[in-house]
Amino acid sequence: MRVIGNEDHHFSTSTGWVLRQDHDPDAAGSSFGEALRMSRRNGNTTGIAYASLGLACLAADASDWHQAAVLHGVAQAFLDQTRQPWEDVEARYRRDSLDQVHAHLGQDQFNRAYASGMALSFDEALDLASARPSRLIIPRDISARSGAPSAPPRRLPACPGSQDEELS
């Protein structure tokens, strides 16, 4: 029996990075997804940020540039809540991935996609990050849902640590 609240995302996240380096994106995605589920259950915003970063890098590896930019925005929005910088290794992975995404999308398109990821609500961001890439549909312009012009990014609400939500 697994005890909720006693799980640690570090192993799954680290495994995801190793599998990514071994060119096994499916297994890496599963590891990052597991880290995301654990972090969500435990209310661990840092874990959500790192798992989302892994998924963003995998999207870039798969040349899904728009998805990668949005997920990078999601990852940064969660990390911003912690007021901590990226760890050195992940900062390097992030920088390399962002460079690729910028090169393929261009500055304007990248900025719009990244800002849309940062502007998602907590639940929207987690739903997006936890979707399997083959089922993932990312709105090209999040602000178009409200009919409003593109607004500056808003901060995600604090991670609800007291809720035991379950991902499907």
Domain contains 139: no
Domain contains 4: no
Burial group, residue 78, by CB count within 10 angstroms (0-12, 13-18, 19+): buried
Judged against a pLDDT cut of 50, whether residue 153 lies above it is answered with no
Residue 21: C-alpha distances to residues 14, 17, 25, 93 (Å): 11, 6, 9, 11
pLDDT digit string, tens, across residues 10-27: 999 999 999 999 999 999
Domain contains 124: yes
* DSSP codes of every residue in 40-75: HHHT-HHHHHHHHHHHHHHHHHTT-HHHHHHHHHHH
Q: Which of the two residues, 93 and 151, has the higher pLDDT score?
A: 93
Q: Contact at 8 Å (CB) between 119 and 141?
A: no
Q: How confident is the model at residue 123 (pLDDT cuts 50, 70, 90)?
A: confident
For position 132, what pLDDT does the model report? 52
| Mean pLDDT to the nearest integer, 81-109 | 97
Q: 110: domain range?
A: 9-134
For position 104, what pLDDT does the model report? 97
Domain contains 143: no
Judged against a pLDDT cut of 50, whether residue 71 lies above it is answered with yes
Q: What is the mean pLDDT of the chain?
A: 80
Q: Contact at 8 Å (CB) between 103 and 134?
A: no
Domain contains 165: no
Domain contains 166: no
Q: Which residue has the tokens 């609240």?
A: 5
Lowest mean pLDDT among 49-53, 95-99, 115-119, 152-156: 152-156
Residue whose C-alpha is closest to residue 59's, from 105, 11, 12, 124: 105
Domain contains 37: yes
Specify the number of domains making up the chain. Answer: 1
Domain contains 65: yes
